[in-house]
C-alpha cells in the first residue's frame, strides 16, 4: 500500500522522494545530464515530458483550449492563467498595499515600486531598472 513516505534520498543534496524514478530524474540536475534533445533546435532536457512540451513551441500544437472563448494554448499552465481573465481571479496580493494580480510575475514587478529594487542594469550606461 501507498504510505506517502519518502524513502529515496539524493546523496548530493539530501532531498527525498516517494519514488525511485523521481530520484533518478532529480539526480540529473546535479550531473547536468539532459538525455532528451529537441530535433528542431538542439535544446536538451532532463525529462521527456519537458521535451514534448518544448517541441510544441516549434510545431504550434496547442492542446489546451479555453472553454469560455476557444483560445488555445500549448501548456496547461498558460490556459490556467488565461482563464483568470474570465473569472477575475487575482490570487497574488501585494503585502505593501493590498493590490491584487492575476499573475505572480506582475506582482513581483509591482512590489518593486514599494521596495525600489532595480535588478536590471544596462550594460552600456550602467543605469538600473525595475523591469527587463
Smallest CA-to-CA distance from 131 within 118, 114, 113 is with 118
In tens digits, the chain (132 residues) has pLDDT values of: 556 678 889 888 888 988 898 888 888 888 878 889 999 999 999 889 999 989 988 998 999 999 999 999 988 999 999 999 999 999 999 999 999 999 999 999 999 999 999 999 999 999 999 888
CA angle, corner 102, sides to 101 and 107, nearest 5?
A: 40
Please state the pTM of the whole predicted model.
Answer: 0.57
Question: Which one-letter DSSP state was computed for residue 129?
Answer: E
Report, at the CATH architecture level, how domain 1-60 is classified: 2-Layer Sandwich (3.30)
Domain range list for the chain: 1-60
Q: Which residues contact 34 (CB under 8 A, 6 or more apart)?
A: 28, 44, 45, 46
Rounded Cα gap, residues 44 and 66, in angstroms? 30
Amino acid at each position: 500500500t501507498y504510505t506517502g513516505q519518502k524513502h529515496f534520498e539524493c546523496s548530493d543534496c539530501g532531498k527525498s522522494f516517494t519514488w525511485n524514478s523521481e530520484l533518478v530524474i532529480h539526480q540529473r540536475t546535479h550531473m547536468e545530464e539532459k538525455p532528451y534533445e529537441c530535433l528542431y533546435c538542439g535544446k536538451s532536457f532532463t525529462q521527456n515530458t519537458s521535451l514534448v512540451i518544448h517541441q510544441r513551441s516549434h510545431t504550434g500544437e496547442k492542446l489546451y483550449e479555453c472553454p469560455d472563448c476557444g483560445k488555445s494554448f500549448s501548456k496547461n499552465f498558460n490556459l490556467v492563467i488565461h482563464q483568470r481573465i474570465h473569472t477575475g481571479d487575482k490570487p497574488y496580493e501585494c503585502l505593501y498595499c493590498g493590490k491584487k494580480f492575476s499573475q505572480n510575475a506582475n506582482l513581483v514587478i509591482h512590489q518593486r515600486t514599494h521596495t525600489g529594487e532595480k535588478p536590471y542594469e544596462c550594460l552600456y550606461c550602467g543605469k538600473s531598472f525595475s523591469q527587463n
